[in-house]
Amino acid sequence: MKQWRIIVAVSVLGAVMVLSGCATTRNMLGKDLTKETIPNSKTYFSQVWAVTDDDEFRVSGKLRLKGSFGHNVPDYVEVELVDAGGNIIEKQKVPYYPRILTGRRKHREARFTARFEQAPPSGSVVRLIPLCFQDGINPRPIG
């Protein structure tokens, strides 16, 4: 009777892992790639993932508000892929959603995703930069 319960439990656990997909997705940060963030006094990055899936490379994560006031927060997130020599391979400016970080409950974090055609070589750096538009045209890092 006890063996039957163990077999059922292992079967259910295996089915959940296969159907969810999250257990089979491999995060490349910390193994093949390194994460680098540009400091910002108002926000920080969390739960950053870099995965290769369906012939594309995705970098996604959350932009979180540090305090309780959402003033002078970034407008966009710039994701740069930098090789081991320090040269920028590719970069993208991506919006985050929801667009409003007010500091109120449930409005302290936003999600972003950058999609690239191919993964950078092993040993590269994924650099995350919060950008603010000072004059509406030219982006500048905020800090």
Q: What is the pTM of this model?
A: 0.70
d(CA 25, CA 1) in angstroms, rounded, equals 35
Note the maximum CA span of the chain.
71
Domains and CATH numbers, the chain: 26-141 (2.60.40)
pLDDT in tens, 60-104: 998 888 766 656 667 788 999 999 889 999 999 998 887 666 655
d(CA 44, CA 63) in angstroms, rounded, equals 6
pLDDT in tens, 8-56: 777 777 776 665 554 455 777 777 898 998 887 778 888 999 998 878 8
* Three-state DSSP class for residue 8: helix
CB atoms under 10 Å from CB of 141, counted, come to 13
